[in-house]
Structure 1
Amino acid sequence: MDALHLSIALGPLAVYLMVLGLVNLATRPFVTTGTRDTAALGLAISGLVVAGPMELFLPEAAAQIFGPWIWLLLLGAYALALTLLILLLRPRLVIYNISIDQLRAVLSEVVTDLDREARWVGDSLVLPRLHVQLHVEPFAALKNIQLVSSGPRQSDAGWRRLENALVPALRKSAGTPNPYAVSFLVFGSLMVGIITLNLIGNSHEVVVQWNEMLRR
């Protein structure tokens, strides 16, 4: 793979790995939504999509008509596809740097204030008044826990209320950094180093490849 396409493919992924490493190094629990989590992953692999399928299957007839603007259309199509995927996903929350016992204790306290009819059934939690049903799924590799919706009938407003109540409650809890965080940072830094060296060492070729990519 040439220097330009290598940089495009690995650049967003390197940034994602480094951000993920920093999140996993935190000493406090970190909460994000499934929407933001999926959007971040979609951005991380966007470079691979551009350097791979988009470049490979680029419609030459359209490129002759639109010129460099064809890439804007393709990136727009990718953004729309990612947005559609996010809209089709069921609600979920992702919590980093916390054990399942800690989360259950905090969650039990929070849901009591939100819905007095809330009840646990094994690893599942039902909040009738908020129209929220979820189950707890730990993911050991990234040391995070996901609260995943159960069943099709879910209230987005109920999930937002749960998130808004959970975030300040978790700030009082002490988190445990993920030992794999260093690996994410190392791999991300290595990718940045490889990209930088390739761009510096092949600057003339990169300009030529960039012009070819834009069909100039």
Structure 2
Amino acid sequence: MFEPFAALVAFTPLVIYLFVLAICRVSGRTLVWSGAADTGAVLLAISGLVIVGPIELFFPKATAYLLGAWVWLPLLFLYFLFGCLWIINSRTSIVVYGRTSEQLFPAVLKAAQSIDNTATGDPQTLQFHLPKAGVHLRLDAAPMHDCVKLIAFEPLLTAAFWSTLSVHLRHEVAEVAAPRPRRGWAALGLAILITAWLVEYVSNEPQLLVDGFREWLVR
């Protein structure tokens, strides 16, 4: 079992991430952001688990003896650099939560036509062609799943293109009705269970929580 403070560090970011996405999906709202932001959110969500796992396992005790609690700054900065490297090397995309690919298809087509009025789409393959812009897009998602990724076949599209497409897509998605039944209940239930367990576990051992905090700061 985790010690109380380690459990708090490990699961708090994950619970926040689950609550945000679950409430967004259950309430019928949409969340449209870049693939980089989505990857960054996932890295933040698992940051607590990384801290009590790999970082704790390979903790530089000799450096901690010299720097004290300040040793956490270079360690967290190293994780930040790792996240930046992952994001830079990941494929550029737009991620939409709260709508299925079938619901999202007309909105993406309208957003594409706002950029290129000759844009066309194929509902069978969920692909789009923007002839004037020289761009081919496709929706990548499991059937009836409400997390959809919009990616391009061309690897080197400009940031301005993705930004413009994202703005138009947010406008069009706002007009799309929420899926029935709503998704996100499982994630919401999991977040509530983890929160309830965490509160009970930590509140039953307040002294261990304080001692654990001191041990993490003073090495």
Tell me the TM-score normalised to structure 1 length: 0.90
Question: Are 1:2 and 2:21 matched, yes or no?
Answer: no
* Match in the other structure for 2:13: 12
The separation in 2 between residues aligned to 1:145 and 1:179, in whole angstroms, is 15
Q: 2:131 & 2:64 partners in 1: Cα distance?
A: 54
Displacement of 1:188 after TM fit? 0.7
The aligned runs of 1:5-84 (5 Å cut-off) are: 5-84=6-85
Please point out which of 161, 164, 167 is paired with 1:161. Answer: 164
Contact 1:137 1:147 in 2 (8 A): yes
Deviation at 1:42, TM superposition (A): 0.6
CA distance in 1, matches of 2:148, 2:19: 20
Letter matched to residue 149 of structure 2: Q
What one-letter code is carried by the residue in structure 2 that aligns with 1:148?
I
Q: Which amino acid letter does the alignment assign opposite residue 161 of structure 2?
A: G
CA distance in 2, matches of 1:140, 1:35: 23
Query: After the TM superposition, which parts of structure 1 deviate over 6 Å for at least 4 consecutive aligned residues?
Result: none
Where do 5+ consecutive residues of structure 2 fail to align?
none
Can you list the C-alpha shifts for 1:125-150, whole angstroms capped at 9, x where unaligned?
Answer: 23354454322112357522210222
Contact 2:102-2:144 within 8 A present in 1 as well: no
Distance 1:148 1:4 in 2: 40
State the SS of the aligned residue for 2:202: helix
Shift of 1:29: 3.5
Opposite residue 95 of structure 1, the aligned amino acid is V
User: Who is 2:107 aligned against?
Assistant: 106
Bigger RCO (CA 8 Å, 6+ sep): 1
- Aligned-partner residue type, residue 111 of structure 2: V
Offset of residue 61 of structure 1: 1.0
CA distance 1:197–1:131, change in 2 (3 Å): farther
Q: Partner amino acid for 1:149?
A: A
**What's the RMSD between the two structures over aligned residues?**
2.0
> Following TM superposition, by how much is the alpha carbon of 1:123 offset from its aligned partner in structure 2, in angstroms?
3.0
Give the secondary structure class of the aligned counterpart of 1:188: helix
Distance 1:7 1:177 in 2: 35
Looking at structure 1, the residues matched to 147 and 13 of structure 2 have their Cα atoms a distance apart, in angstroms, of: 22
Distance 1:33 1:72 in 2: 28
Native 8 Å contact 1:125 1:135 kept in 2: yes
Deviation at 1:90, TM superposition (A): 1.8
| Aligned-partner Cα distance in 1 for 2:70–2:135 | 44
Contact 2:96 2:147 in 1 (8 A): yes
- In the other structure, the counterpart of 1:134 is 137
Matched, 1:203 2:206: yes
Q: Following TM superposition, by how much is the alpha carbon of 1:102 offset from its aligned partner in structure 2, in angstroms?
A: 2.9
8 Å contact from structure 1 (residues 132, 159) kept in 2: no
Number of residue pairs matched?
A: 216
Aligned identity (percent) is: 29
